[in-house]
């Protein structure tokens, strides 16, 4: 076999049409072997003799796409010094673009030893582990164009590749649960009709199924256990894992882009699947443990701010390079449109504390590729000082956990929630205005993959996670949920009607709030997980979306009526820029609008402007808010000032019906466009017409939206 010196950059395996260049970083190993794996279980080892800046490299003519390979690192095994080289381990390439196979947990876990000390004489792992794969980088993108949807037009739909598509009756069985299913017209049609502009996929980086879960007969369903930051997860490919997963993922992105839907990836750069000191050696640990991980002072153990056993070393230049190379790869080669960063506070831990000015954020800010896509932080981790909502740099948007908590509290009747609810409804200026960000920095959500589904939020007071095998100890215990009087399933019609109304309340509130709304997959169908608020290991019908016409567990959906209401609320938001302002409200008339009314005004149910005493009342649970469509004060794409209809939103979160008075000086004629007390939430026809000073009775825990239709409206609706 010919072996040429090759190049130290780019890292990983790079096919050029005639052969493949291999390059891998390690400062800890004395020497590194590239192992080419054959289908008969044998391997050919090639020592990487060339080294530049601790990158070992070689070029092998004739090595083609589909070739499986791995590395063996020869060097010191000294855990007391943080060194864990072991040539018995076949290691994944940290830059592998595709991965074949899976970890074969069993009584004899070949190549993986749990506990200390780890033997250097473990059985050869090649036939029983994952292997890196050389891929063909060439793909016909045709005229693919990124939608580049601005944040104020964005509606995010968080989904799991398998969970979204596994039971869809309109999909061929052989593609269900795969990237190909995402590209199927039946799935795309639903997203387009719903009004979704961005599909946020739960982890699709190659991940590992945990040994503990396998022993329990469960699977790592969510996938927050990454081992390959460049490789699409191979189990989501419908027709092979020798590079086919890359082609299939690209095809899905191309199809979604054609429908105008962006693709955002939920990425896990805070830790890896190698776990703590008792975990398996799969890749990074065996190549250069102290360069990749945050170690304790004695170097034997791992610092952990993620709750997973380890944390990547964010002050290591090689870790930072790998993360940035990965992000650029997914943007430039896979054409994704943005990222949601899991436990993003860990990425800011350059030393111990969360540092807003850490190197990672500096690199993102100056990167000409990564800085131009959507960057969404999950702004917390489990370490000390890890809750950082509102503290990320101006380039970033954030999952607004305070929005979730406040909206839940408001609608379940928690005292003293009114003032904070008003802040969350209007874009959380207390979190984002001081550093120059706008309402669009807030990614608003009521539910997500982690926690109760929308249906379960109104059907359970307590978590019911026994199926996870941890005696119901896992998952959040404080859900801010309310079961509406009965825990779980019930035949009580009043309870069922209240639950349906509460779900409509949450959806309408979410869609009419300033910021960027995010829907969790299946919530539009009232998907249930039977009270399980931590379905990370439930790769089954409990966690999969149940579609109309498909099969699934009894009870809890699919609710096609709720889906229609969700669609109506999304399109109401789309049609009216007053619900998706790019700037915060000022609380005063806007100059140049020739409108003496304030851009926003708050009223008691009696139609009087709210006073400090009203805001401070512990028992207050109802209010109205006027949104002035003639005072948006921002230009459209042509530089012309946007105007819109004005709206009056009435919220009654109290446990009894209340009369609401329409304010007398903010419009003479109104019509009801949303009433969550109705079974479908939207009045038939043109909706009831209401005059200034009239009274409307809102049933307990309901919401009504009025649209102004008189001569106070100035200008036409903008876009």
> What does the DSSP assignment read for 515-583?
SEEEEETTGGGT---TT-S-GGG--STTTSPPPTTS---SSS---HHHHHHHHHHHHHHHH-GGGS-SS
Q: What is the mean pLDDT of residues 79-91?
A: 96
Q: Which of these, 595, 605, 581, lies nearest to 666 by C-alpha position?
A: 595
Pick left, alpha or beta for residue 196 (phi over 0 → left; psi -120 to 50 → alpha; otherwise beta). beta
Cα separation, 515 vs 444, in Å, equals 6
Q: What is the mean pLDDT of residues 373-395?
A: 87
Residue 80 pLDDT exceeds 80: yes
Q: Residues near 368 by Cβ (< 8 Å), separated by ≥ 6? A: none
CATH class of this structure's domain 12-134: mainly beta
Question: Using an 8 Å Cβ cutoff, are 643 and 718 in contact?
Answer: yes
Dihedral (Cα; 6, 11, 16, 19), 10-degree rounding: 50
Please give the span between the terminal C-alpha atoms of the chain, in angstroms, as a whole number.
63
Full strand arrangement of the beta sheet holding 19-25: 12-15, 19-25, 55-61, 50-52
- pLDDT for 360 beyond 80: yes
Distance CA 390, CA 409 (A): 20
pLDDT digits (tens, 9 = 90+) for 136-192: 999 999 999 999 999 999 999 999 999 999 999 999 999 999 999 999 999 999 999
* Beta strand pairing call for 600-603 and 689-691: unpaired
The pLDDT tens digits of the residues spanning 271-318 come to 999 999 999 999 999 999 999 999 999 999 999 988 899 999 988 999
SS3 category, 207 = strand
CB of 367 within 8 A of CB of 331?
A: no
List pLDDT tens digits, range 191-215.
999 999 999 999 999 999 999 999 9
pLDDT band at 717 (very low <50, low <70, confident <90, very high): very low
685's CB contacts (< 8 A; 6+ apart) are none
In the block, tokens 């993620």 appear at 306
Q: 205-207 and 77-78: which strand pairing?
A: unpaired
- Work out the number of other CB atoms within 10 angstroms of the CB of residue 709: 18
- Phi/psi of residue 448, each to 5°? -150, -170
Q: Which CATH class is domain 590-708?
A: mainly beta
pLDDT of residue 115: 40
Question: How sure is the predictor about 549, in pLDDT bands with cuts at 50, 70 and 90?
Answer: confident
Selection from 321, 332, 394 nearest residue 363 by Cα = 321
**Beta-ladder partners of 58:** 22
pLDDT of residue 354: 55
Domain boundaries, the chain: 12-134, 590-708
Q: Are 412 and 482 in contact (CB under 8 A)?
A: yes
At 471 the pLDDT is 96
Residue range 409-438: average pLDDT?
Answer: 94
Q: Do 12-134 and 590-708 fold alike per CATH?
A: yes
- Per DSSP, helices labelled H in 281-428 are 284-292, 317-332, 359-366, 401-412, 418-425
Q: Are 163 and 545 in contact (CB under 8 A)?
A: yes
pLDDT at 634 over 60: yes
CA pair distance 516, 512, nearest whole angstrom: 10
Q: How remote is the C-alpha of 444 from its chain's centroid?
A: 12
- Whether 644 sits among the annotated catalytic residues: the reply is no
pLDDT over 90, % of the chain = 82
Among 6, 69, 11, 54, residue whose Cα is nearest residue 328:
11
Query: 701 pLDDT exceeds 50?
Result: yes
Tell me: pLDDT of 267 over 70: yes
More confident residue, 606 or 631: 606
Kindly state the average pLDDT of the residues 576-581. 96
DSSP element (H, E) containing 253: helix 244-258
Q: For residue 350, what pLDDT band results from cuts at 50, 70 and 90?
A: low
List C-alpha distances in Å: 34 to 45, 71, 277, 291, 365. 6, 5, 26, 20, 36
Catalytic residue among 122, 158, 266, 378: 378
Q: Which of 65-79, 552-566, 641-655 has the lowest mean pLDDT?
A: 552-566
Share of the chain above pLDDT 70, in %: 92
**Cis bond before residue 10 (omega within 30° of 0):** yes
pLDDT score of 530 more than 70:
yes
Q: In the sheet where 702-708 sits, what is the strand order?
A: 600-603, 622-627, 647-652, 702-708, 669-675, 689-691
511, containing H or E segment: helix 493-511
Helix H or strand E segment including 185: helix 185-194
Crossing angle for the helix pair 560-575 and 493-511, to the nearest 10 degrees: 20
Q: Cα–Cα distance between 30 and 692 in angstroms, integer?
A: 82
Q: What is the per-residue pLDDT across 28-41, written as a single tens digit (0 to 9) for each?
A: 999 999 999 999 99
Tell me if 183 sits within 8 A of 255, measured CB to CB.
yes
The count of other CB atoms within 10 Å of the CB of residue 685 is 6
* 694 labelled catalytic: no
Question: Active site residue: 248, 266, 342, 644, which one?
Answer: 342
Task: Concatenate the DSSP letters of all residues of 455-491 into one string.
Answer: HHHTT-SS---GGGTSTT-SS-S------TTSSS---
Instruction: Write out pLDDT tens, residues 116-135.
Output: 434 444 434 444 579 999 99
* Sign of the Cα pseudo-torsion (255, 256, 260, 265, in order): negative
Which one, of 719, 625, 640, lies nearest residue 152 by Cα?
719
CB-CB neighbours of 337 under 10 Å: 24
Which of 485-488's residues contact partners 24+ apart within 8 Å by CB, and which partners? 487/459, 487/460, 487/461, 487/462, 488/459, 488/460, 488/464, 488/530, 488/531
Kindly tell me if the per-residue pLDDT of 393 is higher than 80.
yes
Angle made by CA atoms 264, 572, 189, in degrees to the nearest 5: 50
| Residue 429, H or E segment | helix 429-432
How many residues are given for the chain?
A: 719
* Band of residue 552 on the pLDDT scale cut at 50, 70, 90: low
Q: What is the pLDDT of residue 716?
A: 34
Query: Residue 118: its pLDDT value, please?
Result: 44
* Residue pLDDT, tens place only, 684-697: 888 899 999 999 99
Tell me if residue 37 falls in helix, strand or coil: strand
| Strand 442-444 relative to strand 516-520, pairing | parallel
């Amino acid at each position: 076999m010919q072996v040429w010196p090759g190049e130290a950059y780019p890292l990983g395996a790079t096919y050029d049409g005639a052969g493949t260049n291999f390059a891998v970083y390690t400062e800890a190993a004395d020497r590194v072997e590239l192992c080419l794996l054959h289908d008969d279980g044998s391997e050919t080892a090639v020592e990487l003799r060339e080294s530049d800046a601790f990158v070992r490299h070689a070029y092998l003519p004739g090595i083609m796409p589909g070739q499986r390979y791995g590395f063996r690192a020869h060097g010191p095994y000294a855990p007391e010094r943080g060194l864990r080289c072991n040539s018995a381990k076949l290691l994944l390439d940290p830059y592998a673009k595709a991965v074949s196979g899976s970890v074969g947990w069993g009584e004899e876990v070949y190549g993986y030893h749990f506990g200390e000390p780890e033997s250097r004489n473990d059985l050869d792992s090649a036939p029983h582990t994952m292997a890196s794969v050389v891929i063909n980088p060439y793909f016909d993108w045709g005229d693919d164009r990124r939608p580049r949807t601005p944040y104020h037009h964005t509606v995010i739909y968080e989904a799991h590749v398998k969970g979204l598509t596994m039971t869809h009756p309109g999909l061929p069985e052989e593609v269900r649960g795969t990237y190909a299913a995402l590209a199927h017209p039946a799935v795309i049609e639903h997203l387009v009709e719903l009004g979704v502009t961005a599909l946020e996929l739960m982890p699709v980086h190659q991940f590992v199924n945990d040994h503990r879960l396998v022993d329990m007969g469960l699977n790592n369903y969510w996938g927050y256990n990454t081992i390959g930051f460049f490789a699409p997860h191979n189990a989501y490919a419908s027709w092979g894992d020798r590079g086919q997963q890359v082609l299939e993922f690209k095809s899905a992105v191309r199809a979604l882009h054609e429908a105008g839907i962006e693709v955002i990836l939920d990425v896990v750069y805070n830790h890896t699947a190698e776990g703590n000191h008792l975990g398996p050696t799969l890749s990074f640990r065996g190549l250069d443990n102290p360069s990749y991980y945050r170690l304790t002072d004695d170097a034997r153990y791992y610092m952990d701010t993620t709750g997973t056993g380890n944390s990547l070393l964010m002050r290591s230049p090689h870790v930072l390079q790998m993360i940035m190379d990965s992000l650029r790869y997914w943007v430039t080669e896979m054409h994704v449109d943005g990222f949601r960063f899991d436990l993003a506070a860990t990425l800011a831990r350059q030393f111990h504390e969360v540092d807003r000015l850490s190197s990672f954020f500096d690199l993102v800010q100056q990167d000409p590729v990564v800085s131009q896509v959507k960057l969404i932080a999950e702004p917390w981790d489990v370490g000390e000082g890890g809750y950082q909502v509102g503290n990320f740099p101006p380039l970033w948007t954030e999952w607004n956990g305070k929005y979730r908590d406040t909206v839940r509290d408001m609608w379940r009747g928690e005292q003293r929630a009114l003032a904070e609810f008003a802040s969350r409804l209007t874009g959380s200026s207390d979190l984002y205005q001081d550093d120059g960000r706008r309402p669009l920095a807030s990614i608003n959500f009521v539910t997500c993959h982690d926690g109760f589904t929308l249906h379960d939020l109104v059907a359970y007071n307590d978590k019911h996670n026994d199926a996870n095998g941890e005696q119901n100890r896992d998952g959040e215990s404080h859900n801010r949920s309310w079961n509406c009087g009965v825990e779980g399933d019930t035949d009580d019609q009043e309870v069922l009607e209240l639950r349906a109304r509460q779900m409509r309340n949450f959806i309408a509130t979410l869609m009419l709030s300033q910021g960027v709304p995010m829907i969790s997959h299946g919530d539009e169908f009232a998907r249930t997980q039977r009270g399980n608020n931590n379905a990370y290991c439930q790769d089954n019908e409990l966690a999969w979306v149940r579609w109309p016409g498909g099969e699934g567990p009894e009870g809890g959906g699919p609710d096609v009526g709720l889906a229609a209401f969700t669609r109506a609320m999304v399109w109401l938001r789309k049609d009216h820029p007053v619900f998706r302002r790019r700037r915060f409200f000022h609380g005063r008339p806007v100059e140049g609008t020739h409108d003496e009314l304030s851009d926003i005004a708050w009223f008691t149910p009696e139609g009087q402007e709210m006073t400090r005493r009203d805001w401070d009342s512990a028992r207050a649970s109802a209010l109205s808010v006027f949104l002035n469509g003639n005072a948006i004060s921002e230009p459209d794409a042509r530089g012309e000032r946007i105007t819109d209809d004005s709206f009056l939103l009435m919220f009654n979160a109290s446990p009894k019906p209340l009369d609401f008075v329409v304010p007398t000086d903010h419009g003479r004629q109104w019509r009801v466009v949303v009433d969550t007390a109705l079974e479908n939430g939207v009045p038939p026809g043109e909706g009831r017409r209401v005059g200034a000073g009239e009274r409307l009775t809102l049933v307990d825990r309901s919401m009504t939206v009025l649209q102004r239709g008189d001569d106070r409206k100035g200008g036409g609706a903008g876009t």
